[in-house]
Amino acid sequence: MGKNKLSRFQENETFALLHQPAFADLFRGDFSLKGRWREDFFGNENPITLELGCGRGEYTVELARMCPDKNFIGIDIKGARLWRGAKTATEENMRNVAFVRSKVEVVTSLFAPGEVGEIWITFPDPQPSRARKRLCSPMFLNRYAQILAPQGIVHLKTDSQMLHEYAKATLAANGIAPLQSANNLYATAAAAELAIKTAYENIFISEGYPITYLKFSLPQSKVLVEPEGFAYSGDVPKAKTRQSRAGGRRNFEF
């Protein structure tokens, strides 16, 4: 382990807004703040927005700056990357930000039914050969539906056309009409919350990949299923053109 990562892990232990529950504990039971994030951590009744696979937390932090009347929680398993967002939020004394070092798979152990108002999925690993592992697969969407409030919103921003088409096919297969869909988000002026750009996004834009966007809500009384026979006819960029992301979504550091 490099000294840089080690120092970040050590500093992570000092951030009051960064929670690092043991995965085994979440797998077997619930996190202590489940159902009580507003009362016991944020100290308010404002709605909660999650960013899943938040990386360095840029989206979480920027949304929190834009919307002080909402609470924002970024979730990622990579502690060295979470360090950046946790450090920024701590230095700016942001009271509406938290981070959790955890796998997204155990999100229902972190949040109670109806506790979350919105979910952002920003530039996740497209998982070209493992549909079930995609953060917009029915396996994950069914878990999001458990924690979202009625009419809760999911946002998906990705540079992967394949993932965008897969998400649309999944929604269609389950009778869900997107609230908004864009194959090239920046072809026209984007709303302020959509115009936030992460370091990864800037790299993808510089490499010529159009940014796509989907906005949708999830039914709470229906188990979603995979789209039958989904096939993507376009090109799926190789690992070398995505800086090794196909073998591990974000293998480059900043």
Q: Which residues form the catalytic set? A: 125
The three-state secondary structure class of 152 is: strand
Token pair listed for 246: 């196909």
219 within 8 A of 176, measured Cβ to Cβ: yes
The three-state secondary structure class of 40 is: helix
Q: In Å, what is the CA distance from 141 to each residue of 71, 76, 133, 199, 226? A: 21, 17, 11, 26, 11
The three-state secondary structure class of 85 is: helix
Query: CA 172 to CA 165: how far, in whole Å?
Result: 10
Query: CA 73 to CA 89: how far, in whole Å?
Result: 11
54 within 8 A of 122, measured Cβ to Cβ: yes
Query: CA 200 to CA 122: how far, in whole Å?
Result: 10
DSSP state of 221: S
**One-letter amino acid for residue 245 of the chain:** R
Query: CA 29 to CA 25: how far, in whole Å?
Result: 6
